[in-house]
Structure 1
Amino acid sequence: MNSRKNIVSLLLLGLTLIIPLSTFADMDADDELTKRGTVDDDYYAAGGEVDIEAEIAGDLVTAGGDLFIGRRIEGDVMAAGGIIKIRGEVKDDVRIAGGQLNIDAIIGDDLAASGGSIKLSPGTSVGGEAWLAGGDVTMAGTITKNLKIIAGNIRLSGTVHGDVELEGGDIQILEGAQIYGNLHYRSPGQAGIDPNAGIVGELTHEVVEWDYSEHGFGILFSLTLVAAAILLFWLFPKFTVSSASRIASEPWKSLGVGTGLLLVTPVIAIILMTIVLGVWIGLSVLALYCVALLLGFLIACFFVADRGAKLMKKDIHSTGSRLVSVTLAIILIGFVSIIPVIGGLMLFALLLLGLGAGASQLRFVYRHSGDEN
């Protein structure tokens, strides 16, 4: 369906194109980060737990595990994390992606959100349009313009002054819901519509098959990659940066080593598994192989982030700027990956480059540590 492609594309494209990379202004990064008071410019923050209860004159860009955003933001809010809670007032757009999203805020313009669970409280108001994509979506707030939702389970009890488009496995229009425009929904069966719900415009239903794995995998996978990238950098910052730099300095070597590991490792594991005493060793090799593939791709994402920063002549040596940049890189890669043929080839090339660079860096570290001993 064109609508589902449009929503996912808007979520991905919006997060990548509207973030003002030209101005890495005030920036903080820590495992536990708390911000209070006022900020006279844009503010960038990254951490395991980020608590922002401040008045920010510009945009807010943040990434981390648990994000708490309050008070008053004069510009946009862009956030990616595990749990995101937004309260207070945001004068412009809000674009967020995470595992669990709770919004209890006044938003001046548009809202774009993707996540496992999305909840808009009755006190939430959106001055523009809202695009929501996730596993479970509950919308009890007020939307001034149009509302579009793609989710496995949809619960709508709020007010929408424009048109509503819904697509999901289970759709419920609850008591108290008021839709002043048209309601068009796509689902395998009829939606549950409470008799006391108000629908002023035309009501239409399009029967479609629904498979949440098809709709939600890309979003949740991107979120998982962001979390894994942040964890990798916090645990092994020097290794991560050095491996990403190795792709730039030794691209052909990285590509060759990555191709060799990709082809040879499964063969070795299978050979080991044919030997009675080597079954568990072979399974262990396969498990490490899967981990290596993930690490290789993450290293490539850091490489893309570094290259992008260099092209824009931006310094990302601080922890916060690097985590924000790799988050944007992962989202950008996710958007490009949907392009037929080219997207798949790009992902494969990045995987090989990252795998080879990571292996080469490990070998370098091992040999260097041996020399020191």
Structure 2
Amino acid sequence: MASNIQYQKGERPDLAKHDSAVLDLAFAMDCTGSMSSYIHTARDNIRKIVEDIVAAEKSDVRLALVEYRDHPPQDSSFVTRVHDFTPSIGTMKKWLDACSAQGGGDTPEAVADALHDVLKLSWRENATKICVLISDAPPHGLSPNGDTFPEGCPAGLDPMVTVRELAQKGVTLYSVGCEPAINQYRDFFMALVYITGGQYVPLAGSKMLTQVIIGGAQEEISLEKWMAEVDEEIKKEMEAGRKINDEEMSHVIHRKLKSKGAVSKQLMQNKMALRSETDDVRKYAEYTTLGAVRGGYKMAAHAPSMATHSDVYECEEAETSLAQATRMVQKSKQRMMKKF
């Protein structure tokens, strides 16, 4: 399903210039009982994550952490706990040292609250901005079965609204889906990342989490270097007052980047590109509220896993792909939305 957006002729928004050498990397981490191994892996490898990114990309990196659990009465400890950006690896490690996996209550968790707190972090205007969401459960309000808050977040926060605001701020969302628990909700998380031009990464265990974070960051930094080319084409269409067809524009961008010899890094799962979005995922991404998603969501009772414990994730450099061009188009469009 290609999205068509009509812009007013003559309007030309100025986008903030992002610096690929400046990286703000935030983690939104489910800290309920099933997530212990992921917390431990992040804690034990946070220094390697940052040092590998700096070594490869010469980046100025800051880190932030949003821990989340659930609302009372499902969890009485905290809903979210926010640690704003720091340049200190030691500080981030202390936050993770104090982070533990416990509680949770019903299946859904405070995903909406976590994303809202990520939005409020002190993102640098010129930074390449990435949020890694690590979760094995849906937000409240996606499926009424076994949900204490079937209408959604009791604080009134809507993840579909918040993710669009993140995208307009220039934040790219990576969703690390802890399978198989996340499987029947996977298309929802894939829709969230599609809105921001990010990626869904399936994991069957925490072993490859470090490689996923490093590889994802390296890929986004490499794509950011080419975003000016994408913005130029999007602006042409806006100035002419023409509708933007996602599919057609993605092919235009891909051809342009290919003509310039553009190469980018790409996170690979077992030497293959991560799975692209389906028609259902694109349909869900068009909805502007969680209630609308809920009304049309296809809940697969036995959705197959996309990950195994033997998976290997690596970052490889190659010609910028059509899938990457598609994501870049999404990024550029969303960043311009706030100008209208």
Give the structure-2-normalised TM-score. Answer: 0.23
Q: Which has the higher strand share?
A: 1
Give the structure-1-normalised TM-score. Answer: 0.22
